[in-house]
Chain A
Amino acid sequence: MSERVAIVGAGTTPPRRLSPDLSYRELTFEAATRAYLDAGLTHQDIDSFISVCEDLHEGTSITDEYTPDQLGAVLKPVQTIAGDGLQGVAVAVMLLRAGIADVVAVESHCKSSNILRHGEVLEMAFDPVYERPLRVNPHYVAGLEMCRYLHDSGTVAEAVAAVVVKNRRNALTNPTAPYGAVLAVDDVLASPPISEPLREADISAYADGAVVLVLATEDVAKRAPRPVWVRGIGWSSDSPWLARRSWSEATYASMATAMAYQMAGITDPRQEIHFAEIDDTYAYKELQHLEAAQLAPRGRAGRMTIDGETARGGWLPINPSGGSLGFGYCFDTTALYRTAEAVRQVRGDAGRGQVPRATTGLVISWRGVPTQTGGALVLGAH
């Protein structure tokens, strides 16, 4: 039995700030149709389905009830992962390796525009007894973390602003990214503070959309038109308590990337990873995650960004898609959008946004405040 698994199809709807014309089921149907077409399969060829969603984002309890029809999954094995998009991909990889399915589809959708005040939903993720009475705003937690990270790593605010400038500029070459812009570092630093040192421009804007990925075992993938191989996958969680976390380091990302690198046989990520799609829900997170993934020495990610090493033309392009800053933030769907973008890069389909020599790519995800949960995925052309 083969242990190798590939992504054989990826389908997305273009992320948009608003989507009043389509329900989440219609968005998902569109993404699924594209993914199945890309894989050269129909829904009948798929053995098992995974949906990634959270009740309070959907406004529906037991929201997994509403997953099967739009995927063509009625009376098939369907499960919901109330977690990160990459955890959904991990389950697909494991079902295939376990030998209980030959083809698996992973779906996630986001209708952030249906949520009037997302901050208030996130406040409900804090511990009801110890943390919620403090009335802590999620952006405030991010501001605290950014402050600690800048202090401990010796990173300057200009480096964080440079992340925003780079990613939003990258988004201009991505035909589906809605938040492309030409900005200067000073523009970012002049944006209003939300929770100092965090500024408005450092925070990714919301988007609506849906993504479906189709994964398959080696035997099926070899017959697929354009497989991209899953070389390694990992995920991990650190303490959910605000009081018990490392505020300066993304420990979950260190553990998740270590797991993925081990599976992929990667010993020197700086040599072996050619580009990465890294969570940048808040701009400083890109730097923190780069260091956690051993792609930058501790305290050096900011300097690398200022020097243009992570730009599309640099030696290690980071977020050539535009990242969440340029692409929009879609809750747990974000990780699947970024995976779909990494698939485009590895296939050489990224057009004006194409990174040269993009044969091995890394995706890093994070579930957002207040969690310390994230995933890592290594994709390869071979």
Chain B
Amino acid sequence: MKRRPQRRVAVIGAGLSLFVRRALETGKELSYYAASQALESAGVKLKDIQGVVMATAPDAFDGVHMKGEWLLDGAGGVRKPYMRAYVGGGSGVFSIISGWTLVASGLFDLVLVVAEEKMSSCQPHPQGAFLTIFDQIIERPLGPNLLWIFALEQHRYMHTYGIRNEDIARVSVKNKRNALHHPSAQVAGNLTVADVLASEVVAWPVHRLMVSPISDGAAAIVLASESVAQRLSDKPIWVQGVGWALDTSYWGNRDLAYPRYVEKAARMAYEMAGVSEPRKQIHIAEPYDPFAYKELHHLEGLQLADRGKAPEDLAHGRFDRTGELPTCVSGGLMGVGNPIAAAGLMKLCELYWQLRGEAGARQVPGNPERGLAQAWGDLMQIGTVAILGVH
């Protein structure tokens, strides 16, 4: 099948709210903050925006049915073509793919993409909303929760490749330290591997400091067609490739050691971006890190590290800000926070700032020219990948 989209699409503005544990703002208001910042940074008004795309994860967090409809005025969707696309935890990175689809189709020239999540409204704890993600007949009677199933996956990953928990704890150390420079960060910190392993076990082998927090927040970007981007922006950042793939719902039948759906998504994006040697051609990566092991697991799926070898690369400094392939320089979900859909789009905002050389103290040296962001979600099932670049 051909995957040679003809129309080029660029990011010309980005906005991000603070990521916090309990925002006083409603989801509509958080969306408004991020959206207005993105519009301002792009130098456009809401009236110029032709279409709006919203990403937000389960309705159960807010207890609002058709949550996308409810959020639409905060996101600027009134009297416009507006829609909500949804792939669970992968929604944040998928949101740029939705927006890209609108512009690349030739039907829209200027599109606003908003991602919002307010998890704190779900009482007593948002994990409760996740009890309803499982199959009604074969899984819910077991009472599983997300921490358990990801602990299973981490355990399988460690067992298959002989990885130790301290290798995984290094992800928390790196990302929380990177986040010290991020103004929106919720859980930045200067920790050691020993600190991470000394935190309580929430579901073995997962320790508390290996899990991203409950967060509220929103992110937004403005996408433009080629001619509009060149008119409005001094340095548009181009969407070079997009990819996504959803694996079977029956996660119990899969080998959890390797995320093949991430590989599928990545290969689709690399093909579109013309990337044949990702380890050389990707200069900066924002893999999805809701749990510490996921960053390593995903780097392998993305073909940016050999299977089972990402922990070694990490220990040797390959993924540091000054390393060969800086990863999660924003601080990621482990450091900035994890308002689910907003966290994915936050990674794309980071690439936008990094590629424009505007990331301040977080800036990666050497003028990176191409970056990749990836998210993951559902029942350890979806991979979403977007590649941005300066050309």
Nearest A residue to B68, CB-CB: A82
Nearest A residue to B248, CB-CB: A74
State whether the Cβ of A68 lies closer than 8 Å to any Cβ in chain B.
yes
Most buried by A among B133, B243, B268: B133
Against A, the Cβ 8 Å flags (1 = close, 0 = not) of B226-265 are 0000000000000000111111111000000000110011
Most buried by A among B57, B105, B377: B105
- Segment at the interface with A among B3-11, B163-171, B278-286, B321-329: B3-11
Against B, the Cβ 8 Å flags (1 = close, 0 = not) of A360-382 are 00000001001101000000000
Q: Which residues of B contact A69 (CB under 8 A)?
A: 248-250
State whether the Cβ of B73 lies closer than 8 Å to any Cβ in chain A.
yes
- Segment at the interface with A among B33-41, B59-67, B181-189, B296-304: B59-67
Nearest B residue to A332, CB-CB: B66
Which listed residue, B5, B98, B106, touches A100 by the CB 8 Å rule? B5
User: How far apart sit A102 and B84, CA to CA, in the bound complex (Å)?
Assistant: 23
Which listed residue, A64, A237, A373, touches B88 by the CB 8 Å rule? A64
A138, chain B: closest CB distance, angstroms: 11
Q: Which residues of A contact B1 (CB under 8 A)?
A: 47, 101-102
Contact A74 B59 (CB under 8 A): no
Q: Which residues of B contact A60 (CB under 8 A)?
A: 132-133, 136
Which listed residue, A76, A251, A259, touches B81 by the CB 8 Å rule? A259
Contact A62-B248, Cβ < 8 Å, known A98-B5, A236-B82, A255-B79: no
Which listed residue, B64, B80, B94, B105, touches A237 by the CB 8 Å rule? B80
Q: Which residues of B contact A93 (CB under 8 A)?
A: 105
User: How far apart sit A56 and B272, CA to CA, in the bound complex (Å)?
Assistant: 36
Q: Which residues of B contact A157 (CB under 8 A)?
A: none
Within 8 A of B (CB), among A52-96: 54-56, 59-62, 64-69, 73-83, 87, 90-91, 93-95
State whether the Cβ of B78 lies closer than 8 Å to any Cβ in chain A.
yes
Interface size counted on chain B using CB atoms at 8 A:
72
Contact B79 A125 (CB under 8 A): no
Contact A127 B72 (CB under 8 A): no
Contact B3 A99 (CB under 8 A): yes
State whether the Cβ of A124 lies closer than 8 Å to any Cβ in chain B.
yes
User: How far apart sit A194 and B338, CA to CA, in the bound complex (Å)?
Assistant: 45
State whether the Cβ of A134 lies closer than 8 Å to any Cβ in chain B.
no
Contact A54 B59 (CB under 8 A): yes
B361, chain A: closest CB distance, angstroms: 36
Q: Which residues of A contact B260 (CB under 8 A)?
A: 75
Most buried by B among A3, A98, A240: A98
Q: Which residues of B contact A65 (CB under 8 A)?
A: 88, 133, 249, 378-379, 381
State whether the Cβ of B200 lies closer than 8 Å to any Cβ in chain A.
no
Contact A237 B249 (CB under 8 A): no
Contact A99-B2, Cβ < 8 Å, known A74-B247, A79-B244: yes
Contact A124-B82, Cβ < 8 Å, known A66-B135, A98-B104: no
State whether the Cβ of B58 lies closer than 8 Å to any Cβ in chain A.
yes
Contact A76-B245, Cβ < 8 Å, known A47-B1, A102-B2: yes
Contact A82-B7, Cβ < 8 Å, known A61-B133, A98-B101: no
State whether the Cβ of B46 lies closer than 8 Å to any Cβ in chain A.
no
Q: Which residues of B contact A41 (CB under 8 A)?
A: none
Which listed residue, A3, A241, A255, touches B106 by the CB 8 Å rule? A3
User: How far apart sit A255 and B60, CA to CA, in the bound complex (Å)?
Assistant: 31
Within 8 A of A (CB), among B107-165: 107, 129-130, 132-133, 135-136
Q: Which residues of A contact B265 (CB under 8 A)?
A: 77
- Nearest 10 pairs of A and B residues by beta carbon: A94-B105, A98-B104, A78-B246, A61-B58, A124-B65, A125-B65, A97-B105, A62-B88, A65-B378, A56-B65
A54-B65, A371-B66 are known; give 15 further A-B pairs, CB within 8 A. Answer: A54-B66, A55-B60, A61-B133, A74-B246, A75-B246, A75-B264, A80-B87, A81-B83, A83-B83, A90-B83, A91-B98, A98-B5, A121-B65, A125-B69, A239-B78
Can you report 27 A-B residue pairs in the complex whose CB atoms are below 8 A from each other?
A54-B66, A55-B60, A61-B58, A62-B88, A64-B88, A64-B246, A65-B249, A74-B247, A77-B265, A79-B98, A79-B244, A82-B66, A82-B85, A82-B86, A87-B83, A90-B83, A94-B104, A94-B105, A98-B105, A128-B63, A236-B82, A237-B80, A241-B73, A255-B79, A255-B81, A371-B66, A373-B72
Interface residues of B (CB under 8 A from A): 1-7, 26, 57-60, 62-70, 72-73, 77-89, 94, 97-98, 100-102, 104-107, 129-130, 132-133, 135-136, 242-250, 260-261, 264-265, 268, 272, 377-379, 381-382
